[in-house]
């Protein structure tokens, strides 16, 4: 999944900052810990997605919940 806000960044950075990578990280973490994880869209072009075990605060929105 390609994010247009990452235009001009290297292809590796594009992969690491993608939703797909954040989702894979969340799945990996969930396999090692017994808490749910959120994939959160930050609205920041440098870090468009992040993974957290805490619900996001406004204005961030979660894109996926790994239970």
Print the domain residue range for 49.
6-66
Q: Which residues contact 27 (CB under 8 A, 6 or more apart)?
A: 66
**Residue 1 belongs to a domain:** no
- 45, 6 contact by CB (below 8 A): yes
Q: Show the DSSP H helices in 17-66 as ranges.
A: 19-32
- 53, 34 contact by CB (below 8 A): no
- 51, 29 contact by CB (below 8 A): yes
* Total domains, the chain: 1
pLDDT digits (tens, 9 = 90+) for 19-63: 999 999 999 999 999 899 999 999 888 899 999 999 888 888 889
**Residue 50 belongs to a domain:** yes
For residue 35, what pLDDT is reported? 93
**Residue 54 belongs to a domain:** yes
pTM reported for the whole predicted model: 0.79
């Amino acid at each position: 999944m390609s994010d247009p806000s990452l235009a001009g960044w290297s292809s590796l950075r594009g992969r690491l900052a993608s939703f797909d990578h954040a989702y894979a990280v969340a799945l990996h973490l969930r396999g090692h810990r017994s808490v749910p994880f959120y994939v959160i869209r930050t609205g920041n072009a440098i870090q468009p997605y992040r993974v957290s075990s805490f619900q996001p605060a406004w204005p961030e929105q979660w894109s996926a919940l790994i239970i």
